[in-house]
Amino acid sequence: MNANRENIHRVARNIPPLGALTVSNKSSIVSNIETDESGIGAIRKDFTQDIWEAGIELQLNNLTTIAPFQSSKPVVDTLSRSGHKTLIVPTQPYNTTTEPVGSTEWLKRTSNWKDATQAETPPLCCADGPVENRNMTGTPLPHEPRGSGRGSDTVIWFTPQDYIKISSLPGGRPDEVLLPEMVHALRMEMGLNLCLAMDDGFDTVEEFYAILIANIYRSECEYRDLRANHNGKQMLAAPLTDDSRFYKHWKDKIDRLCREMSAFCNALAAVPCAFNPIRRLKAAK
C-alpha cells in the first residue's frame, strides 16, 4: 500500500496520517511496550496526556499483575520478548486497531505488512472499520510483496477511556479491548499474520484467534457471557458456550493456532477456567 493510499485509508477511519506525527515514545511498565508521549492534544480534547497514560498503565496492570491474569500474561510476556517493539498511540473514539510498521519511530512508521505476514504468502486485507465496509477481508493488499515472516514492530491505536461506557458488554471492558489488539500485534511481531477470510461473523482468522484468547481471559475473570464474534459485542450463544463444542466446531483453526504458537498455547491450556477450548485440544491428545 503506497503512502497516499495508506493515508487516505487512515483519514476514512479518523486516524492521523503516519507521516504527520511527531512522536516521542515513553517506556511503559512492560518491556518493549511504549506509549506515545508526543501529546494527545492534537487528537483528543476530552482529557489530558496524563489521564490517557494512566489509563494505559491501568490496563497493562490488569493484564499482568492484578489477578486473574494467567491467560493474559502469556500474551503480554511473549509480546515483550518478540524482538520487536509495540507502541500504543491515542486515537479518536472507538477506532482501536493494530498495524505493523517498519519502526515505532515516527519517521519510519510506514506499513510493514511484508515482514508481519507469513513467509511466501501474500499480505491480505484485515477486517477493520464499520461492518458494512468489511468486504475486502481475505483479499490481497495492493502493491505488497509476498510475506517474509521476519516479524515487524507494531502500533496499537487505543484509548481506554472510550470503553468505560460499554464495559458491561461481552468484550467491552478496556482491558478486553486491548488484549485482542495485543494478540494481533504478537502475531505480526512473530511474522505469523495471515488475514484469511472467515465466516460466522469473525471476518478473518486473525480476529477469531484474538477473540478466542480474549474469551479465555474473560472466562478466567469469571464472566459467563462471552463475545460471539467480531461483529460488535454480541453474546456467544449455546451450545458454543461449551468449550468442548466450541473446539470441535472450529477444530482446524484452533489446531493451526497451536501448531504456529505451541509454547504460547501450552501456557494458555494450563489456565483453569470454565471456557478454554485450547485446554480441550491439549486434553484430546
Compute φ and ψ for 80, nearest 5 degrees.
-70, -20
Q: Three-state SS for 278?
A: helix
pLDDT at 40: 84
Other Cβ atoms less than 10 A from the Cβ of 184: the count is 23
Other Cβ atoms less than 10 A from the Cβ of 28: the count is 18
What predicted TM-score, i.e. pTM, was given to this entire model?
Answer: 0.90
Q: Which domain holds residue 26?
A: 3-284
Contact 128, 13 (CB under 8 A): yes
Q: Three-state SS for 24?
A: coil
pLDDT at 23: 56
What would the grid cell of residue 86 be?
Answer: 509495540
- The span from the CA of 95 to the CA of 93, in Å, is 6
What would the grid cell of residue 127 be?
Answer: 477486517
Domain count, the chain: 1
Series of mean pLDDT values for 10-residue runs along the chain (285 residues): 38 46 80 89 88 96 97 97 96 93 92 96 85 76 94 97 96 98 98 94 96 98 97 95 96 96 96 95 66
Give the DSSP per-residue string, 225-255: --B-SSSTTPBP-TTTTSHHHHHHHTHHHHH
